[in-house]
Amino acid sequence: MSNTNVETVTSTADRLKIGLAVLVVIAGIVAFSMLEGRPSLLRVGVFIGSLLLAALIVWFSEPGRRTMSFGRDSYNEVKRVTWPQRKETTRMTGIVFAFVVAMGILLWVVDKLLEWIIYGVLLGWK
């Protein structure tokens, strides 16, 4: 568990950039709705264009740079992972399925036992 503090957006310029990016996305949604009678390709293009413009605006902010750095670090970490072989994966999946079936049977038996005790013995309904 890392002992790092949460970093928030503190710069006024960064806040303005993120606010502008949010407004651009909202404008894209509104434009998508306003262009209802137009071809779908145009509507989707305007919306995707607004998302790309918003991403470009966020890219030049400090939180955007930190996010990109985190993404690069995560990708490099995933490349170092030793993934299990097919045989090991199949075996572990079989073990999980067997455990789920065994737990299902156990819970069914406990349910029927409690049903018999409550309704049959205590209440005498059956």
pLDDT average, residue stretch 67-80: 93
- Helix 12-34 to helix 40-59 angle (10° resolution) is 180
Supply 64's token pair: 């955007």
| Per-residue pLDDT tens digits for 18-64 | 999 999 999 999 999 999 989 999 999 999 999 999 999 998 888 88
**Residue 8 CB: number of other CB atoms within 10 A?**
8
Spell out a b/e string for 49-85, using b for 16 or more CB atoms within 10 Å of the CB, else e: ebeebbeebbeebebbeeeeeeeeeeeeeeeeeeeee
Closest by CA to 69, choosing from 16, 53, 77, is 77
Quick one: CA torsion of 37, 42, 46, 48, rounded to 10 degrees? 120
Q: Residue 54 has what pLDDT?
A: 94
| Per-residue pLDDT tens digits for 94-119 | 999 999 999 999 999 999 999 999 99
Q: Residue 125 has what pLDDT?
A: 82
Give the range among 11-20, 24-33, 68-77 with minimum mean pLDDT: 11-20
Q: Which residue type sits at 69?
A: S
Does the pTM surpass 0.85? The reply is no
